[in-house]
């Protein structure tokens, strides 16, 4: 249901963006995400590598800057540590990992046909178990962040190819510190994640709206 609400919200926004003469890039993509391990207090979960897919809408707020709406999903399997298998739980659980992010992309336009880029995004991540056993594993939501880098290659004014490497991180904890002393005062915020999902994706770019000529 959450994904349907997000989809319809985006579809409602697009006509207003186009009427404002923005450049909008719609990019369905697919690729591969490498395996990783999520460490917990009483057990570890090994996330198998698998295919990933999704889509993004990039709204050009300037010639070199885009605002991105991103949905990324991988359907994989999670291997549980021996602690849970000794209790009778299944040692492997089918799992979908869903990232729903908002971010920005900085474009470095070499020419009208090639544009390297780097990006950063934030949002939410849903781990959704799909087991058929008697045990009911609960879904888990995390605050998450991501980074990407790659290149856009345009075949024409309206169609192109987006190739990128990415790192996605569900945030497991955060902290805040503040100090006051004779030398001054200060503070800081920290977050940590034991799982970083590296991957590669590629997808076709469909450009709508007012497309720049250079």
- Domain-located, residue 194: yes
Q: Is residue 180 part of a domain?
A: yes
**Residue, of 15 and 201, whose pLDDT is higher:** 201
Instruction: Tell me whether residue 37 is in a domain.
Output: yes
- Domain membership flag for residue 110: yes
Secondary structure E strands in 87-158: 92-107, 114-129, 140-154
Residue 183 lies in a domain: yes
* Average pLDDT of the segment spanning 70-93: 74
CATH number of the domain where residue 70 is located:
2.40.160.20
pLDDT over 70, % of the chain: 68
Does residue 192 lie in a domain region?
A: yes
pLDDT at 176 over 50: no
- Examine residue 214 and state whether it is found in any structural domain, yes or no: no
Q: Can you tell me the mean pLDDT for 15-30?
A: 74
The whole-number pLDDT of residue 175 equals 39
Q: Say if CB 87 and CB 60 are below 8 A apart.
A: no
Residue 168 maps to a domain: yes
Domain that holds residue 186: 2-209
Query: Would you state the pLDDT for residue 122?
Result: 92
Mean pLDDT of 78-104: 76
pTM above 0.95, yes or no: no
Per-residue three-class SS string for 22-77: CEEEEEEEEEEECCEEEECCCCEEEECCEEEEEEEEEEECCCCEEEEEEEEEEEEE
Residue with the larger pLDDT of the pair 197 and 137: 197
Res 38: pLDDT = 79
Quick one: pLDDT at residue 133? Answer: 57
Number of structural domains the chain divides into? 1
Q: What pLDDT, on the 0 to 100 scale, is given for residue 85? A: 56
92 compared with 87, residue with greater pLDDT = 92
Q: What is the DSSP string of 148-195?
A: EEEEEEESSSSEEEEEEEEEEEEE-EEEEEEEEETTEEEEEEEEE-S-
């Amino acid at each position: 249901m959450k994904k349907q609400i997000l989809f319809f919200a985006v579809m409602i926004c697009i006509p207003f963006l186009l009427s404002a003469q923005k450049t909008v890039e719609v990019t369905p993509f697919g690729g591969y995400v490498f395996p990783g391990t999520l460490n917990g207090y009483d057990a570890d979960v090994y996330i198998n590598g698998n295919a990933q897919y999704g889509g993004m809408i990039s709204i050009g707020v300037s010639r070199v800057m885009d605002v991105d709406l991103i949905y990324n999903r991988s359907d994989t399997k999670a291997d549980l540590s021996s602690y849970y298998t000794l209790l009778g739980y299944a040692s492997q659980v089918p799992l979908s990992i869903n990232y729903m992010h908002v971010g920005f992309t900085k474009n470095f336009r070499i020419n009208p046909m090639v544009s390297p880029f780097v990006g950063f995004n934030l949002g939410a991540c849903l781990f959704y178990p799909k087991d058929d056993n008697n045990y009911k594993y609960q879904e888990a939501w995390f605050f998450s962040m991501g980074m990407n880098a790659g290149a856009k290659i345009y075949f024409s004014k309206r169609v192109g190819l987006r190739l990128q490497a990415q790192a996605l991180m569900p945030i497991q904890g955060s902290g805040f510190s503040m100090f006051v002393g004779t030398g001054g005062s200060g503070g800081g915020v920290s977050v940590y994640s034991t799982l970083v999902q590296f991957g590669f994706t590629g997808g076709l770019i469909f450009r709508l709206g007012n497309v720049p000529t250079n």
